[in-house]
Structure formats: C-alpha cells, structure tokens
Structure 1
Amino acid sequence: MSEYGNKLSWAVGKKTVLCVGTTTIDFVSTIRKFPVDNRSERAVGGYWIRGGNASNNCTVLANLGVKVEFFGMLSSLSVFQVLIDDLKARGIIIENCPSCDQEAPFASVILTKSTKTRNIVFCNSNFPYVGIEHFRKLDLGQYGWIHMRALFFENTMAMVKELMAYNAARQEKIVLSLEFDNSLEEMWPLMDYCDYAIFSKQLAQPNGWVSLEDACLQLDERLRMRWGLNLKRPYVVVLWGEEGAGFLDLDGNYTHVRPHKPKRIVDALGAGDTFVGAFIYGLYIRERSLPVAVDFGNRMASYKCTKNGYDHIANILLPPVL
C-alpha cells in the first residue's frame, strides 16, 4: 500500500482529489458454475470487500500515492464501522462525510468460473445520498479535481452548479469529471458542466450503441445538437470492456485506445473503477496527455485483474527488477 508523498508518489504539491459517491459492503463468492433453479452450488472461494464506485476510486488513487478524499454518506451503525476503519487505514480522508443511522448498502457478487461472468445483486435500502447541504460545508479551495458519479440527478446537479459558481470566481479552476453508467436521458444535462465525461458499456443496449466507435459518434452527434450560450464541451471517454476504450477530443475527433489483456484473469471486480482512478492519476498527477491517460487507465484496469483487490496495482510503477 502506498502513502501520500512516498517514493511512488508524484502527487507532492497537488491538491486533494475528491470522489463523491457511495461506499458499500460487497460479499463476493466464486463458484464453478452458476446454479440452476432451486439448486444450491458450493462456493470455491469467497471474501468481503469495501465496494462502491467512488470508494473504489479512492482506494486506487490512495494506492498510487494520491491525497484523496471520499465524500459520501456514512452510517453510525456498528456493522458500518468495518468500512470506516478500512477507509482510515488506507489514508483516505473521510472527515467531511455526513452520517446517518441506517443500515449500510451492500452487494452480493457472484463470480462464475465456467462462463467467466459476474453477477451483482445490489441492495440500497433507501440509504441516503449526499446533497447540496453537505457539499456547501466543504472548503472547495483544497481540491484540484472532483469526480462524481452521475447518480440522483437533482443532488448531483445542485453540487455541480455550486462547483461551477466557485470556479467562475477564480482563476485556478477545479477540474470536474463525471461518470455515466445509468439513466443517460435523465443525466444528460450534466454534460453541459463537466470537463471529462466517462461512459460505461452498460449504456450500450438502452441507447442503441452497437460498437465502441458508434457509441462515440452518437455521443458526438448529441453534443453537437445542443443549443444555448456558453455550453461547455467535455472530453468524452467510453469504456468498452475487452475492446479497450475510445475518446473524443473537444472537436469531436474519435480515437480508439487498444486494450491490454491480462494473460490470466483472477479478479475483474472493480476494473472500471481502477480505470477511472488511473485516468485521473495520469491526467492530474502526472500531467500526461489524454491518449496517454486513457492508455494508462487501460493498462491499470488490466493489471488489476491479475490479482484480488487493489493493493498490488502500485507495483506497476516500480522499475523492473534486472
């Protein structure tokens, strides 16, 4: 596990990265084949892990030596303490998180070896999400980059507009990236405000995207059809699993970035979250170009799959042993 400011870290002098979203308890079971109806299947392995997109992004960034803060709702119940302890143990800042007394959200994850598939059943139990009243308590001056998942539109839009008002009055702007993986129609107005928009392949079927390039071209067309004054055009990145990723620059030019396929997949859970964390690291911490940052995200997502969890990922930054 890397720490902020150690020899692996290039983040010295950089402001904190803030990741807005949720943290959950994930119960992961590995089985040989998926059970048929009314039959049980013995697991060949299992473990629990702290999950949630923003929570995972923080883990990746912390392992890469970045000063990072998680901003999401916590719970005062004892079962939630394992998540709080794990966040603190990794040096992830949580001091500005609000808290409630509700049961923690959790997910049941089934990894099937025979089909190399992953099934996730998520239980939210109406766990509250952070809102503008919590966001306004933050000292935005300490952040250089804020990443949000496009979730709960009214809450997210209010926080985004608060950030835009802050940026409008300052020369040094906070970079905003948004991750879209559901309800694109509802979340689309957020595109007018972000600097980087990251899309998941999960959106392909509901939006009629038949390929990676088609997804990018359809998004480009939709961006060009907007109307209004001073609309911001973000860089667009689309993740497409084994086909890698594609991105659009500010002029709508499409580029495909090839995948880096691991020789053996041990644990693909959180590969997309690893991409996002590594992408932010490449752009913000290392100040690399968009193509290099996307390629680094692909490499890191692939490398993450070679072992369980995230604690090995910083090893990719070490020089090879001769």
Structure 2
Amino acid sequence: MKHLILVGACYLDTILTVPHFPAEDSKLRATALHVRRGGNCPNSLEVLAQLVLSGAGGPQIKLHLVSCLPDAGAAATRKILSSFGGGDGNDVSGNGGGADIVDCSHCLYRAGHEAPASSYIIRSGATGSRTIVNFSDLPEVTADEFEGIADVFAAAAAAAEQHGDDGGWWHFEGRIPETTLRCIRYLRRVTPGCTISVEVEKPNREGLVELAAEADVVFYSRSWAEPRAHNCGSLSQGRSGVIQEGGAGALALPGGEYIHHAAAPSGDGIAVVDTIGAGDTFIAAMLYGLHADAWSLEARLEFGVTLATKKVQREGFAGLVP
C-alpha cells in the first residue's frame, strides 16, 4: 500500500454568487449561497478519495491529511471530517465515511477554538471572477509539531522496509515557506526514500524558489510560471515541473523535455459553472497518475486536464468520479 500525505490548511468556504461584483458601500442580493469545506490540500484529497474508491485504472493509495483544525469537539470539526469520501462537505452527522478513506488522525486539533479557518468568496456572474477574503485565528502547524508526525511515518516505514515501503509521497501547499522548508529538510533526514512535491502558487510570496529547489515534483501556477520563464523546461531546476494553464496542462521533465496538453476548445460544449478547486482537482489527478507506474507521462497529463475540465462544469466536487 502506497501512502500519500498532504500537508496544508483546511477551510470552510462561504461562496456567494452575485450578478456582478458589488461597489464599495453598496447593497447587493446574492443569487446563490454554498458553504463547503475548502483548502487546497483538502480539496485535492476529496478528489483523490473518489479516485481511490473508484479504482480509476490506477493504484491503491492510503490518503492522509496533516492540517490544523478547531477543537476536536467543535461542530466545525465534525463538518470538516464528514466532508471527505465523495460528499459535498455539507454532512455534519460525522457519517460521511471520511475516516475510512482519508486518515485525519495526524491533524492537530486546537483546544478551545470553535471556529475554523474561513474563506469568504464572492463569485461574479458577469465576469466569472472570484474575490476571496480569508480569516483564521487557528495556530499554524509548527516545524516541531510536524517533526513529531514525520517520526511516526518514519518509524512505520522502517518497520515495513522489508515490504518495500519507501516512506511515502508528501505533498505540501506552499503557504509558509520558512516552516515548510524546515519540514521538508527534516523528512529528507528521517525518510530519505520518500518523494516530496510542493505547490508553488503565489507569485509574490518569498521563499517559494527555495521550496521548489528541495522538491522532487513542483506544481506551478500559471501566474508564477509566466513571469519567470520563456518555457516550462527552465522552471524544473532538474526536477519535474507541472504547470496548470487555465484549463491546459504542461509537464517539464528534468532532462528538458516538455509535454503539453491543450484545454478543451470552448466550442466543445464546455459550460463553466464553478472554477473554485479546479487547480486542486488537477493536482489530485496528477498525484494519482504519478502513482500509476503503468501510465505514460502523456496519459497522466491528459488525465489531469480532463478531470479538471470536468470539475469546472459542476458545483463542488460531488460525483466528480463515477
């Protein structure tokens, strides 16, 4: 059994769809309201959970989330935990089956905190733009806390070494580069056989270049990649670089090879309904494909683009994978 551990923030998203973006100090009636669990890594895990359940012609993977959550007894925590396993994130009963699909036992529960990290998203019907305001007073994962979690996985990998356990695949959301860099370097010491990927998204966030240099696979946003290279190959820095380009995808290999998969033409009946989480879906599909040893590089990239295209045509993630 392969292990895939995703490390990143977990949010509850409040999504308001409005006819147009409101002017300052104005009043506007929303046309739709959705509240669901969000966050880059949790969104990717919801998609991965569906892929693992379906088989999808790929490998069997044990999924893990490392994230800070409110108090273990908080209603928001129950809602978050119930959201994994192919649901829409609205089940607060705790019966969503997420514990069987996504292992959240390594999450850090902040005692006394009832409110989750929250995102408030205004989605404009006129332009398709989305404006996001985040708030969280949850203490972030510290490097010391992470090292304790890494030690647990390292011990399990050492015990299972005779079965070919390589320490798993660790994927990081590049949110707090200084802390994340320390976490990655610690993993290299205690589980030298592990694979590490990072998401490099925010163009102006300092420290992401150093993170990319430490990873085996880097997922670049288009907004990061375009100002920094004339082609994808120069971004890979001797590693595999993956770029999502607004519906298209590109893969740059350590040897300088470059593979591109175009987005579906707009005339192919593609109706964009919800772009929130499209990039997370692409990353999930690529992570799944990269674990499928029998798949070609072209097949992995096509899988990622196809699934992300399917996602933008529906609200949320429910039923994304048959």
TM-score range, shorter chain: 0.7 to 0.9
Which residue, 20, 23, 26 being the options, matches 2:7? 20
Q: Is the 8 A contact 1:15 1:144 kept in 2?
A: yes
- TM-score for both structures, normalised by structure 2: 0.80
Equivalent in the alignment of 2:91: none
Q: 1:75 to 1:300 in 2, by over 3 A?
A: same
Q: Secondary structure of 1:155's match?
A: helix
Equivalent in the alignment of 1:95: 105
- Residue 37 of structure 2 aligns to which amino acid in structure 1? R
- Residue 316 of structure 2 aligns to which amino acid in structure 1? G
Indicate yes or no: 2:200 matched with 1:180.
Answer: yes
Which residue, 31, 43, 63 being the options, matches 2:18? 31
Cα deviation for residue 288 of structure 1 reads: 1.8
How big is each residue's C-alpha offset from its partner over 1:221-271, in whole Å with a ceiling of 9 and x where there is no partner? xx3xxxxxxxxx2101111114x1222111122332211356111111100
Q: Distance in 1 between matches of 2:177 and 2:33?
A: 35
Cα deviation for residue 314 of structure 1 reads: 1.0
Q: Is the 8 A contact 2:233 2:257 kept in 1?
A: no
Identity of aligned residues (%): 23
Q: 1:184 to 1:39 in 2, by over 3 A?
A: closer
Which residue, 247, 251, 255 being the options, matches 1:251? 255
- Residue 43 of structure 2 aligns to which amino acid in structure 1? N
Cα deviation for residue 184 of structure 1 reads: 5.4
Aligned length: 281
Q: Is the 8 A contact 1:283 1:289 kept in 2?
A: no
Q: Distance in 2 between matches of 1:197 and 1:156?
A: 14
Which residue, 126, 132, 140 being the options, matches 1:114? 126
Indicate yes or no: 2:62 matched with 1:46.
Answer: no
Paired residues for 1:136-147 under 5 Å: 136-137=148-149, 138-140=152-154, 141=157, 144-147=168-171
Cα deviation for residue 286 of structure 1 reads: 5.7
Paired residues for 1:214-229 under 5 Å: 214=230, 216=232, 219=235, 223=237
Equivalent in the alignment of 2:175: 151
Cα deviation for residue 53 of structure 1 reads: 0.7
Q: Is the 8 A contact 1:105 1:125 kept in 2?
A: yes
Paired residues for 1:1-322 under 5 Å: 14-65=1-52, 66-76=61-71, 77-87=74-84, 89=96, 90=98, 91-101=101-111, 102=113, 103-125=115-137, 127-137=139-149, 138-140=152-154, 141=157, 144-168=168-192, 173-182=193-202, 183=204, 185-203=206-224, 208-209=227-228, 214=230, 216=232, 219=235, 223=237, 233-242=238-247, 244-260=248-264, 263-285=270-292, 287-315=294-322
Gaps of 5+ in 1: 1-13, 224-232, 316-322
Q: Distance in 1 between matches of 2:168 and 2:40?
A: 20
Q: Distance in 1 between matches of 2:320 and 2:104?
A: 22
- Residue 155 of structure 1 aligns to which amino acid in structure 2? T
Q: Distance in 1 between matches of 2:147 and 2:299?
A: 32
Q: Distance in 1 between matches of 2:205 and 2:133?
A: 21
Gaps of 5+ in 2: 53-60, 85-93, 158-164
- Residue 95 of structure 1 aligns to which amino acid in structure 2? S
Q: RMSD value over aligned CA atoms?
A: 2.3
Q: Is the 8 A contact 2:221 2:243 kept in 1?
A: yes
How big is each residue's C-alpha offset from its partner over 1:261-298, in whole Å with a ceiling of 9 and x where there is no partner? 56111111100000000001111046423332122111
How big is each residue's C-alpha offset from its partner over 1:126-164, in whole Å with a ceiling of 9 and x where there is no partner? 642353433333323275321111221232112211221
Q: Is the 8 A contact 2:108 2:141 kept in 1?
A: no
Q: Distance in 2 between matches of 1:18 and 1:79?
A: 22
Q: Secondary structure of 1:34's match?
A: coil
Q: Is the 8 A contact 2:146 2:183 kept in 1?
A: no
Q: Distance in 2 between matches of 1:214 and 1:133?
A: 39
Q: Distance in 2 between matches of 1:121 and 1:287?
A: 42
- TM-score for both structures, normalised by structure 1: 0.80
Q: Which moved more, 1:189-198 or 1:264-273?
A: 189-198
Q: Is the 8 A contact 2:240 2:251 kept in 1?
A: yes
